[in-house]
Structure 1
Amino acid sequence: MILNKKMLEEKETDGFFAWDDLVDQLERNIRKSKYIKKRSKKLLKEKSRQTNANKKRRRYFK
């Protein structure tokens, strides 16, 4: 996630800069992206396992 000036200005309230909200949001996004990465890796492994099994099956039942 890219922090731009406009977003930072939107977070500013009554001269008090809401860092906590911003940090929480960043942490949430990082956690989410790690989970998504892990999940997609798992799905990819499962897919390759299936294709390998299908190849073996095809070879065996010719």
Structure 2
Amino acid sequence: MDELIASDRLPGSRLVPTVRGELLARLGRRPEARAELELAARLCATNANAQCCCAKRPR
């Protein structure tokens, strides 16, 4: 994941922070996961996609 981010192959894509956020949540790294999923929500083109990202945020 870090290599993909460093390569900057998907600039501005909501997919990278979404996947990263989900992986961080699975690892129990809640604050980092929440930040990534909030970033993904801001990058979404539609409100429906943004709501989906927000729903995945750990509490």
**Which TM-score bucket, shorter chain as reference?**
0.3 to 0.5
TM-score, normalization by structure 1: 0.31
RCO comparison, higher one (Cα < 8 Å, 6+): 2
* Rg comparison, structure with higher value: 1
Structure in which a larger fraction of residues adopt helix: 1
Compare the two structures and name the one with the higher strand fraction: 1
